[in-house]
Amino acid sequence: MAVTRKKAAPKKSSTKKSNTVKLKFDTGWSYDPAPESRSAATIKPQYDLFINGQWQKPSGKKYFATTNPATEEKLSEVADANAADVNKAVSAARTAYDKVWSKMPARERAKYIFRISRMVQEKARELAVIETLDGGKPIRESRDFDVPTAANHFFYYAGWADKLEYAFPNRQVAPLGVAGQIIPWNFPLLMAAWKIAPALATGNTVVLKPAETTPLTALKLAEIIQEADLPPGVVNIITGAGATGAAIVSHPDVNKIAFTGSTDVGKLIQRSIAGTNKKATLELGGKAANIIFEDAPLDQAVEGVINGIYFNQGHVCCAGSRLYVQESVAKTVIRKLKDRIETLIVGDPMDKNTDIGAINSKQQLETIHRYLDIGRREGAEMWESSCPLPRKGYFCRPTLFTNVAQSNRIAQEEIFGPVLSILTFRTDDEVIEKANNSPFGLSAGVWTDKGSKIFNLTRRMRAGVVWANTFNKFDPSSPFGGYKESGFGREGGLHGLMPYVDIK
């Protein structure tokens, strides 16, 4: 892919500062490419289903391709599991639960989970390369965030396995049985870790389905699990589309559903399990408010906003996609943001210099473009970086909207791309009311010098996570989850154990 790293000529120079940044580039300053090696990863031409510790052919004999969204090339093909395959996976998980896993002393279970964490670390480079090739996220993110955080989740929950009596003092806890787990395409390996680690630590067995466009790191994890000698059937990883997910949800022998994905599918799942005994956690969409007060350290806040919305191409459920800036500093913040966005490098995700990689799929790119049109038609003012885009692949320039009204669709709906909607406010009460005026409630951010403002806000915000003077920070020991249409149940931390146990 030929991506020239030299900045394109600016469309117009609005401020002194942005001229300085552009001048630097326009006088020839640029990064040399620093590509990670494709050969660090082994990707097989075809993958079967990982059921009962073995690779099994799909009973419908169907496979589908997974591609690299940065080049549109096919990477591999993976099996399409039908209801019969789901049934096989669930019965393998049930047998493993009844005969082995639920009977194994907790300290022995822990050893397996520790082993998986160490192997994820050992294979970190390969996993990062596969994550980037299959999903389009910059290698810097896969390498420095996704893979290490996934390993940390396995380590963290391995530590809990034989200490559940301390997690739930004076209570008796028992595993639920078979957990059906369905994950999206934005953090494929990390979401698999979030799901599998607490389930195993509490003594449950698993049937997991990764998303259609990003199945490869979950399949690599299946290879790790096989190599780690986990007893057959304890973790089963099956690929397929929405129908495979629906078959897991409706299978009568599944005791718990853990789903991360869109609010629409979350609602379908709730309907499907209504009236059954299945427990569920749903981690759904978001439209996080990131709030900058006039007393905030503005440069730090701008960096936080960049991290909040342009990180991972905005494919982040908790992305800070609504920015509320106090009126007195709005002009300055918007100028600083535009200057900073002009320096972001969009392009080859395998290049270590890249800040913004490929949009995960053609369909998602079309969704983003649709919202850009909606925003313009609603009367908001759109501004995008002047950066060049690669000729092939699915890419989107980092974009922001100003003159946005609270009722605009770009301020209410999840776009799931590198698109920021900027609104202004005058008082604390006003911004809290506006920020809470959303069907979602997953996360929020606040930037201010005053601790009292932080406490006032965090107390009154209807959001599962509120970051103060930072954004998008994750740790296995911190619970994560939403209010309202962002779902229910918590993953991570001590709270993340609860959805996998019966507490007596």
Task: State the catalytic residues.
Answer: 283, 317
- Regarding 258 and contact with ligand NAP (CB under 6 A), the answer is no
**Which residue, chain included where needed, has tokens 């996934």?**
150
Q: Which residues from 275-304 bind ligand NAP, rule CB under 6 A? A: 283-286
Report the 3 state secondary structure along 314-377: HCCCCCCCEEEEEHHHHHHHHHHHHHHHHCCCECCCCECCCCECCCCCHHHHHHHHHHHHHHHH
DSSP 235: E
- Using the minimum distance from each CB to ligand NAP, give the nearer residue, 203 or 418: 418
- Regarding 249 and contact with ligand NAP (CB under 6 A), the answer is yes
Could you tell me the strand order of the sheet in which 256-260 lies? 54-56, 49-51, 235-237, 205-209, 178-182, 256-260, 279-283, 487-488
- Rounded to 5 degrees, φ, ψ at 71 are -125, -10
- Regarding 58 and contact with ligand NAP (CB under 6 A), the answer is no
Per the document, the length of the chain is 504
Distance (Å, rounded) from C-alpha 165 to C-alpha 6? Answer: 59
Interface pick for ligand NAP out of 185, 394, 395, 401 (rule CB under 6 A): 185
Residue 28: CB minimum distance to ligand NAP, A: 40
Beta-carbon contacts of 236 under 8 Å, excluding residues fewer than 6 positions away, are 49, 50, 51, 52, 89, 92, 93, 205, 206, 207, 208
Interface pick for ligand NAP out of 155, 371, 416, 471 (rule CB under 6 A): 416
Taking CB under 6 A as the binding criterion, the range among 30-38, 241-249, 367-375, 383-391 that sits at the site for ligand NAP is 241-249
Beta-carbon contacts of 129 under 8 Å, excluding residues fewer than 6 positions away, are 36, 37, 38, 40, 41, 139, 142, 350
Distance (Å, rounded) from C-alpha 456 to C-alpha 425? Answer: 16
Distance (Å, rounded) from C-alpha 124 to C-alpha 152? Answer: 12
- Regarding 131 and contact with Mg ion (CB under 5 A), the answer is no
- Regarding 213 and contact with Mg ion (CB under 5 A), the answer is yes
Taking CB under 5 A as the binding criterion, the range among 38-46, 129-137, 306-314, 328-336 that sits at the site for Mg ion is 129-137
Q: Which one of Mg ion, ligand NAP, none is in contact with 436 (Cβ closer than 5 to 8 A by kind)?
A: none
- Regarding 492 and contact with ligand NAP (CB under 6 A), the answer is no
- Using the minimum distance from each CB to ligand NAP, give the nearer residue, 269 or 329: 269
Interface pick for ligand NAP out of 52, 260, 402, 472 (rule CB under 6 A): 260
- Using the minimum distance from each CB to ligand NAP, give the nearer residue, 114 or 488: 488
Q: Which residues from 419-478 bind ligand NAP, rule CB under 6 A? A: 442
Q: Where are the beta strands (DSSP E) in 371-451?
A: 381-384, 399-402, 419-425, 440-441, 443-447
Q: Which one of ligand NAP, Mg ion, none is in contact with 186 (Cβ closer than 5 to 8 A by kind)?
A: ligand NAP
What are the Cα distances from residue 203, in Å, to 17, 336, 479, 484?
Answer: 57, 50, 20, 30
Residue 399: CB minimum distance to Mg ion, A: 24
Tokens of 479: 């619970």
Helix (H) or strand (E) segment spanning residue 487: strand 487-488
Q: Which one of ligand NAP, Mg ion, none is in contact with 242 (Cβ closer than 5 to 8 A by kind)?
A: ligand NAP
Q: Which residues from 37-66 bind Mg ion, rule CB under 5 A? A: 66
Residue 212: CB minimum distance to ligand NAP, A: 3
| Residue whose CB is nearest to ligand NAP in the complex, by number | 245
Interface pick for ligand NAP out of 92, 158, 176, 182 (rule CB under 6 A): 182
Residues that bind ligand NAP (CB under 6 A): 182-186, 209, 211-212, 241-242, 245-246, 249, 260-262, 265, 268-269, 283-286, 317, 414, 416, 442, 482, 486-487
